Amino acid sequence: MAQPHAQPKRIIDLRKHARILLPAGALFSFRRLVVPVQLGEEAEGEGAMVDLSIGGCRLLSEVPLNIGQEYNLILQISTERPPIPVDAAVVRWTDDSMYGLKFISIAPHDESQIRDLLLDIRRTAA
């Protein structure tokens, strides 16, 4: 019996905001959602940030995250910038130790810090 032709895997990008690759050393920590997020509280896990947009990020973590689970995040992009809290982010996809998170609640001041950071990275890359 003939085998059907394999169709190439198509990836559809549904993001509203383009992601920007982050410099090496961008880190994050997380814990299951607790409102409000508090700096300095015990983290459940941590890892490296791969890319970032105003609406979410891609993370690398050895601690498993579950699709649909909501987390508080603390983003530490560089030692020159203060940590940025994300009040709530939800895991949208996983691929081994890589995770895609969508920000669902972030304070306006913290969102502004992310916007400024992304502008600085774009300027530096240009």
Domain topology for 20-125:
Thrombin, subunit H (2.40.10)
Tens of pLDDT, residue by residue, the chain (126 residues): 444 555 455 444 555 666 666 666 666 666 666 555 555 667 788 889 999 999 999 999 998 999 999 998 999 888 888 999 999 999 999 999 999 999 999 999 999 999 998 898 888 876
The domains of the chain are located at: 20-125
Judged on CB neighbours under 10 Å (0-12, 13-18, 19+), 72 is: buried
C-beta neighbour count of 70 within 10 angstroms:
18
- Name the token pair of 78: 């560089």
Alpha-carbon distances, residue 89 vs 2, 10, 83, 105 (angstroms): 46, 26, 16, 7
pTM of the shown model: 0.73
